Amino acid sequence: MKHLLSIEDLSREEIDSILDTAVSMQDVQHRDVKKLPTLRGRTIINFFFEDSTRTRSSFELAGKWMSADTINLSGKGSSLSKGESLRDTVLTVDAMGVDLIVIRHPASGAPKQVAEWVNCSIVNAGDGTHEHPSQALLDAYTLRREFGDLQGRHVAIVGDLTHSRVLRSNLLCLRKLGARITLVAPPTLMPSGIASWSERDGFATSHDLDAVLPTVDVVMMLRVQRERMAGGYFPTAREYAVTYGLSPRRLDLLPDHAVITHPGPMNRGLEISADAADAVRSRILDQVSAGVAVRMSILYHLLAGEGSAT
The residue ranges that bind ligand CP (CB under 6 A) are: 52-55, 126, 135, 263-265
Shortest spacing between CB 58 and ligand CP, in angstroms? 8
Select 52 or 215, whichever has its Cβ closest to ligand CP: 52
Shortest spacing between CB 220 and ligand CP, in angstroms? 12
Give the C-alpha separation, 269 to 257, whole Å: 24
Select 126 or 186, whichever has its Cβ closest to ligand CP: 126
Select 144 or 165, whichever has its Cβ closest to ligand CP: 165
Shortest spacing between CB 50 and ligand CP, in angstroms? 7
Region for 109 from its dihedrals, namely left if φ exceeds 0, alpha if ψ lies in -120 to 50, beta otherwise:
left
Select 9 or 50, whichever has its Cβ closest to ligand CP: 50
User: Which is nearest to 91 in space by CA: 71, 70, 117, 67?
Assistant: 117
Select 133 or 263, whichever has its Cβ closest to ligand CP: 263
Shortest spacing between CB 111 and ligand CP, in angstroms? 14
Q: Which long-range contacts (CB under 8 A, 24 or more apart) does 227-231 make?
A: 228/129, 228/163, 229/163
Q: What's CA 8's distance to the chain center, in Å?
A: 14
Give the C-alpha separation, 256 to 157, whole Å: 18
Shortest spacing between CB 32 and ligand CP, in angstroms? 27
Give the C-alpha separation, 166 to 132, whole Å: 5
Contact call for residues 161 and 155 (beta carbons, < 8 A): no
Shortest spacing between CB 211 and ligand CP, in angstroms? 28
What sign does the CA torsion over 131, 4, 265, 244 have? positive
C-beta neighbour count of 269 within 10 angstroms: 14
Return the SS3 of 130.
coil
Select 55 or 89, whichever has its Cβ closest to ligand CP: 55
Which residues does residue 204 pair with via DSSP β-bridges, in sequence order? 182
